[in-house]
Amino acid sequence: MAKRIEADNVTAYYGNFRAIDSVSMVIERKSVTALIGPSGCGKSTFLRSINRMHEVIPGARVEGSINVDGHNVYDKDVDVTAVRRMIGMVFQRPNPFPTMSIFDNVVAGLKLQGVRRKGELQVAAEKALRGANLWEEVKDRLDKPGAGLSGGQQQRLCIARAIAVEPQVVLMDEPCSALDPISTLAIEDLIGELKDSYTIVIVTHNMQQAARVSDKTAFFSLEKTGEPGRLVEYDDTQKIFTNPSEKRTEDYITGRFG
């Protein structure tokens, strides 16, 4: 169920602006990898390059390769929609489809894949909602609009929607930055559970969160505004936060910079 990601010299552009420059890193199966760094350092850009969501912005493109279990997602004849089904994504702001019920939100991805049988959808919806620790809270109101849930519930609904299609990898782009501490804790606990089945990559501004949830941490930084972001250090989370090899990493996590 989980796959290994190898990024090789990934360089991403917005038009002529180079946002990240030759990022190479290996993300292991069934691990949680946190991407940290100051704003504008390209961590979100790198995350979005993994499932080819970067290129949906007009003028944006990616060079280099990202191999998922040895297959480059940027190969010319790869179906981009299949890549995105394999690599699910959770966004910064909870974005359930506003016109859909909770149930329809969860099975939206399955319906896109052509699953129509009601029974099959119900089984999948319950499994995904249980997986996202939301089932008990919403099982009696599956036909109510997804937008009616609290922010934290909406974000777990989005996680349920992402895992309902049974991806191999789940990308999370600052999933807790719009949530209160209790919802944040719920999501962090969930990440710990999801790790048993999925490879997880999470972008966060909250270094304590990175420390709490991740096995490995990648620190991105940029020299100055207008320069591309680069991967400064990538190591075990414990090492990054206790004994980083790079001075810049230490400066950042101790709050002396960024």
Residues in touch with another protein (CB under 8 A): 51, 53, 56, 81-85, 88-89, 91, 93, 95-100, 108-109, 112-113, 144-148, 158, 161-162, 165, 176, 180-181, 184-185, 192, 205-209, 211-215, 237-238, 241-243, 250, 253-255
* Shortest distance (Å) from residue 2 CB to another protein: 18
* Shortest distance (Å) from residue 50 CB to another protein: 11
Q: What is the DSSP string of the chain?
A: ----EEEEEEEEEETTEEEEEEEEEEE-TT-EEEEE-STTSSHHHHHHHHTT-GGGSTTEEEEEEEEETTEETT-TT--HHHHHHHEEEE-SS----TTSBHHHHHHHHHHHTT---HHHHHHHHHHHHHHTT-HHHHTT-TTSBGGGS-HHHHHHHHHHHHHHT--SEEEEESTTTTS-HHHHHHHHHHHHHHTTTSEEEEE-S-HHHHHHH-SEEEEEEESSTTSPEEEEEEEEHHHHHHS-SSHHHHHHHTTS--
* Shortest distance (Å) from residue 100 CB to another protein: 7
Shorter beta-carbon distance to another protein: residue 25 or 100 = 100
* Shortest distance (Å) from residue 4 CB to another protein: 20
* Shortest distance (Å) from residue 97 CB to another protein: 6
Shorter beta-carbon distance to another protein: residue 122 or 208 = 208
Shorter beta-carbon distance to another protein: residue 21 or 173 = 173
Shorter beta-carbon distance to another protein: residue 9 or 254 = 254
